[in-house]
C-alpha cells in the first residue's frame, strides 16, 4: 500500500518530537511504501533533511506557505475573473459560511489562476470589501485588505499544491496538512487518516493570542482560519486518532464526530535504553536532563530561572539542555544571555544529541513546556528509569500519575506552567531524595512497559492501515482500486 504522510513544519527537516514519531512509524511498516508531503515555510528549506530517510520512503514532496507565485504579473491568456460558482465558494470561505471547499479545490487545481491573479484581482477585493463593511469598518480599509491578503496567501498556496497520488493520506495534524489530505481525498478517492499529537487549533490559538506580530483585531480572523481548516479535516477523515482521552474530548468539542476518533498512545523502542551508560560511582553532581528543542513553547527561560534558585539550595546541581538550538536562534541567544546575566554555573547547552548517550547519566529529567501532546521525552526517561518533572500540559499529568486503570504510582512531580518557585522546589526535592528518585524511576519504567511500547503502537496502526486498505481497495466488496 502507498501511504502519503503529510506533515507541517517537522519531518524530515526538524529532529525530535513529532518528526521522531513519523520516522519511527515509517520504519515500523517496511511492507508499505511511504511518500512524504512536507509543508515548509518557503523554498529556502528545500531538501535540508535532518533525517536519513528509511528505505521504504520513495519520494519527498514539498508544499510552501510562502512562494514566488505571489507578486508575479498575470500571464497572457490566464483568466482574471471568477465564475459565479467560484465567487460564491471564495466568499463562503472568507465569510466562514459553510465553506464550499470542493469548488475551491477545483478552482485551484483545475484552472490557470495564479495566487497573484486571485489576491490582486477584483473579485477578492469585492469580497473583502463586503466582509470589511459588515464587520470591521472602524479600521483603515487599506490595512485590512493587505492583512487579508497575507492571511489567505498561505491558504491559496496550499490549495494550489499538486498532491501526489496515494492509497491513503495520513495527516499528522489538521490545519494545512488536513487541508491537503482532504483535497487529495476529493481528487483521488483515497483514504484519509488524521493523527493529532497536540490539538492543532488550540495550539495555533494559544500562539496567536500571545503573538506580537499580529494586531489584536486580526487574531480572531487567523484563529477562524485554522478552525475552518481543522473542521474540514475532521469532516473528511475516515479515522481521527488522539493520543489520550482528554485530547479526544477536545477534538469532539472542536467538531469531530466521536465515532471517528480512536485513542492511539505513543510508543517507544524500550530496548534502545536497556544497556545505556550510567553515572560513574564517584560522580558527586546531581544531573538534570532537559531533552528539548530550544524554542519558546518549551519555556526554557523558566527552566533556567528555576535551576538558578534550586542550585542555591543544592550547589552540586548541573543542568543539561539537550536539543537543537537553530530552530529559533534569537530565542536561543536570549537563553544564553539569561544564563550569563544571572551568572549561573553548570548550565550546559549540548545542541542536538543522541538521547541514549546522555539520558543514563542523568538523575532525573525536566520538561517546562507551555504546550505538549504526549511527550516522547517523558516516555524515554521512563524507559531509562528516570523520574520526570513536568508542567501540567497535554498528557503529562496522566504519564506521571497514571491513567484510571494504572495504579503503579507516581513517576515524578507535576508543576504549574511558568511557576519558577514550584519548579525549583521540585528540582530540590528530587535532588535531595535519592531513594525517591529510584522509586519513581522504577514506577515510570513499569508504566512505559505496560502501556507505551512501540510494539503496542505498531499493533494499533497496523489494524488501522489494514482497515483503510480494505476500504480503499475493496470499497464495495470487490478487489478494485480507486485509481
Q: Of 263, 298, 330, which residue is a domain's last? A: 263
> Is 198 in contact with 371 (CB distance < 8 Å)?
yes
Instruction: Measure the CA–CA gap between 373 and 69, rounded to whole angstroms.
Output: 35
Distance CA 47, CA 62 (A): 9
If DSSP codes are grouped into helix, strand and coil, which group holds residue 211? coil
B/e letters for 73-102, b = 16+ CB within 10 Å, e = fewer, are eeeeeeeeebeeebbebbbbbbeeeebbbe
> Is 356 domain-assigned?
yes
Q: Domain range holding 10?
A: 2-64+161-263
pLDDT in tens, 122-171: 999 999 999 999 999 889 999 999 999 999 999 999 999 999 999 999 99
| 275 within a domain of the structure (yes/no) | yes
| 354 and 292 both lie in a single domain | yes
* Residue 197, domain member (yes or no): yes
Higher pLDDT: 210 or 444? It is 444
Same domain, yes or no, for 294 and 398? Answer: yes
pLDDT band at 478 (very low <50, low <70, confident <90, very high): very low
Question: Could you tell me which of 193, 234, 261 has the C-alpha nearest to residue 29?
Answer: 193
Q: What is the pTM of this model?
A: 0.90
Q: Flag whether pLDDT at 483 surpasses 50.
A: no
- The residue from 233, 263, 293 where one domain ends is 263
pLDDT digits (tens, 9 = 90+) for 346-403: 999 999 999 999 999 999 999 999 989 999 999 999 999 999 999 999 999 999 999 8
390 and 443 belong to one structural domain: yes
Confidence category of residue 78, pLDDT binned at 50, 70, 90: low
Q: Do 237 and 369 have their domain in common?
A: no
- Is residue 97 in some structural domain? no
Question: How many domains are there within the chain?
Answer: 2
CATH number of the domain residue 29 falls in: 3.40.50.2000
Instruction: Specify whether 256 is located in the same domain as 280.
Output: no
With 50 as the cut, is the pLDDT of residue 32 above it?
yes
Which residue among 208, 238, 263 closes a domain? 263
In 15-139, DSSP assigns E strands to 33-40, 57-64
In a domain, 379, yes or no: yes
My answer on whether 359 and 430 are in the same domain is: yes
479 pLDDT band (50/70/90 cuts)? very low
The answer to whether position 127 is within a domain reads no
Whether residue 79 has pLDDT greater than 70: no
- 241 in the same domain as 199: yes
Mean pLDDT of 52-80: 78
The reply to whether 325 and 434 lie within a common domain is yes
All cell numbers assigned to 212: 506580537
Distance between CA atoms of residues 156 and 140, nearest Å: 24
Q: For the residues 431-440, what does the mean pLDDT come to?
A: 97
Amino acid at each position: 500500500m502507498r501511504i502519503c504522510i503529510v506533515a507541517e513544519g517537522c519531518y524530515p527537516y526538524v529532529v525530535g518530537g513529532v518528526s521522531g514519531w513519523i520516522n519511527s512509524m515509517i520504519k515500523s511498516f517496511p511492507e508499505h511504501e511511504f511518500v512524504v508531503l512536507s509543508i515548509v515555510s518557503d523554498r529556502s528549506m528545500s531538501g535540508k533533511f535532518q533525517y536519513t530517510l528509511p528505505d521504504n520512503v520513495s519520494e519527498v514532496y514539498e508544499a510552501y506557505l510562502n512562494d514566488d507565485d505571489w507578486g508575479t504579473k498575470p500571464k497572457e491568456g490566464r483568466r482574471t475573473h471568477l465564475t459565479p460558482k467560484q465567487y460564491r465558494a471564495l466568499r463562503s470561505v472568507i465569510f466562514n459560511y459553510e465553506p464550499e471547499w470542493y469548488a475551491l479545490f477545483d478552482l485551484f487545481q483545475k484552472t490557470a489562476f495564479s495566487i497573484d491573479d486571485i489576491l490582486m484581482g477584483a473579485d477578492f477585493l469585492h469580497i473583502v470589501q463586503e466582509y470589511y463593511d459588515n464587520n470591521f469598518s472602524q479600521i483603515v480599509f487599506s490595512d485590512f485588505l493587505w492583512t487579508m491578503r497575507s492571511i489567505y496567501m498561505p491558504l491559496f498556496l496550499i490549495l494550489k499544491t499538486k498532491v501526489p497520488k496515494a492509497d491513503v493520506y495520513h495527516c499528522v495534524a489538521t490545519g494545512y496538512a488536513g487541508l491537503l489530505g482532504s483535497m487529495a481525498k476529493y481528487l483521488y478517492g483515497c483514504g484519509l487518516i488524521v493523527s493529532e499529537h497536540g490539538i492543532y487549533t488550540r495550539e495555533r490559538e494559544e500562539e496567536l493570542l500571545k503573538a506580537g506580530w499580529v494586531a489584536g483585531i486580526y487574531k480572531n480572523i487567523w484563529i477562524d482560519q485554522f478552525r475552518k481548516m481543522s473542521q474540514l479535516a475532521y469532516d473528511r477523515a475516515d479515522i481521527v486518532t488522539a493520543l489520550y482521552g482528554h485530547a479526544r474530548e477536545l477534538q469532539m468539542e472542536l467538531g469531530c464526530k466521536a465515532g471517528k476518533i480512536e485513542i492511539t498512545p505513543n510508543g517507544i523502542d524500550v530496548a534502545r535504553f536497556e544497556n545505556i551508560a550510567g553515572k560513574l560511582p564517584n560522580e558527586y553532581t546531581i544531573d538534570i536532563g532537559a531533552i528539548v528543542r530550544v524554542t519558546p513553547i518549551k519555556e526554557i527561560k523558566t527552566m533556567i530561572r528555576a535551576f538558578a534558585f534550586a542550585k542555591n539550595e543544592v550547589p552540586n546541581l548541573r543542568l543539561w539542555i539537550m536539543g537543537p538550538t537553530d530552530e529559533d536562534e534569537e530565542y536561543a541567544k536570549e537563553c544564553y544571555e539569561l544564563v550569563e546575566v544571572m551568572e549561573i554555573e553548570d548550565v550546559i547547552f549540548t545542541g542536538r544529541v543522541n538521547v541514549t548517550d546522555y539520558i543514563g547519566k542523568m538523575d532525573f529529567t525536566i520538561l517546562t513546556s507551555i504546550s505538549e501532546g504526549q511527550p516522547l521525552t517523558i516516555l524515554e526517561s521512563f524507559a531509562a528509569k528516570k523520574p520526570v518533572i513536568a508542567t501540567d500540559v497535554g498528557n503529562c499529568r496522566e504519564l506521571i500519575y497514571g491513567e484510571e486503570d494504572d495504579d503503579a504510582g507516581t513517576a515524578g512531580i507535576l508543576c504549574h506552567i511558568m511557576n519558577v518557585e514550584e519548579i525549583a522546589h521540585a528540582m530540590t526535592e528530587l535532588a535531595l531524595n535519592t531513594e525517591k528518585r529510584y522509586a519513581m524511576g522504577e514506577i515510570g519504567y513499569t508504566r512505559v512497559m505496560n502501556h507505551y511500547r512501540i510494539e503496542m503502537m505498531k499493533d494499533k496502526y497496523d489494524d488501522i492501515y489494514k482497515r483503510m486498505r480494505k476500504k480503499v481497495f475493496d470499497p464495495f466488496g470487490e478487489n478494485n482500486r480507486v485509481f
